[in-house]
Amino acid sequence: MCARALLGWVVLSAAALAALGCGGAREMPDEPPADPDKGALTGDLAVQLAQTLIEAGAHGTAVPMLRSALAKDPKDARLHYLMATVLRDRGVYRQAREEYAIALELQPSLAPAHAGLAVLLDLEGKHDEAKPLHEKAIALQPDVPRYLNNLGFSRYLAGDHQAAIEAFEKALRLEPNAPTVYNNLGFALAALGRDDEAKRMFRQSLDEAASLNNLALAHELRGDPSAARRMYQEALLVDPSLKAALANLEALDKGGAPPAEETE
């Protein structure tokens, strides 16, 4: 399914979700080599600035800054991890994998690097390879709810819906007000036919119409187009202007591949 990404990881940059299952890996364009003598930031300042840029989606600014910082301090595992994250989010998977490997060689206990590499493997459809890396990140930092959410999403993609539910529930025990996790849990429950529970999870962060749209999409993913059509229509009775439901119902009625527009 090559449309909007269904569900989501909670990662440093949301851009990693934008191309789930769409297209292939790319190569990073050549850039001038960094000059370590131009007053590049290093250490905590470089890490903080890079994180800010990545979270803002300013990858074009983050890359040269990280190159300069790495030229001056090539053994800072955090900088390699952040460079890997930028590369991954830009679809440059081979080079991202290399940077994650360097980060983990320099600092094997760097939990975000294990988590980031796991997401990369999930993006490549290698969910069984991703699983132990998600689990390693959790073992290193068990109080970080996004690692549990990411494990749950990985297990959902692998078709292990019960394991996904268990991971999402653990994440919610750590962070009870996490809309993405409630949404993910709703899809995992719906995949097992637990529709009432799924809708309750969707309603934690969505209104009635949006919850019905997501439940309809879950039925479509389960191979039940008639139930999906009925729920899309119910969603539109509640909110006739809900664009996601309109688009999903139109695609379903045309008999083509659905746009899979999840309501967020």
Element (H, E) at 203: none
Residue 32: per-residue pLDDT = 42
Distance between terminal CA atoms of the chain?
18
* Distances in whole angstroms, Cα of residue 87 to Cα of each of 91, 99, 217: 6, 9, 31
Question: Do 171 and 178 form a contact (C-beta atoms < 8 A)?
Answer: yes
DSSP per-residue codes, 20-83:
TTSS----PPP-PPP-TTS----HHHHHHHHHHHHHTT-HHHHHHHHHHHHHH-TT-HHHHHHH
**Domains of the chain (ranges plus CATH)?**
1-141 (1.25.40.10)
What pLDDT does residue 233 have? 96
Render pLDDT for 44-70 as a digit per residue (tens, 0 to 9). Answer: 888 888 888 888 888 888 899 999 999
Give the model's pLDDT for residue 16: 29
Which residues in the chain show pLDDT less than 50? Answer: 1-5, 11-39, 258-259
pLDDT on residue 165: 98
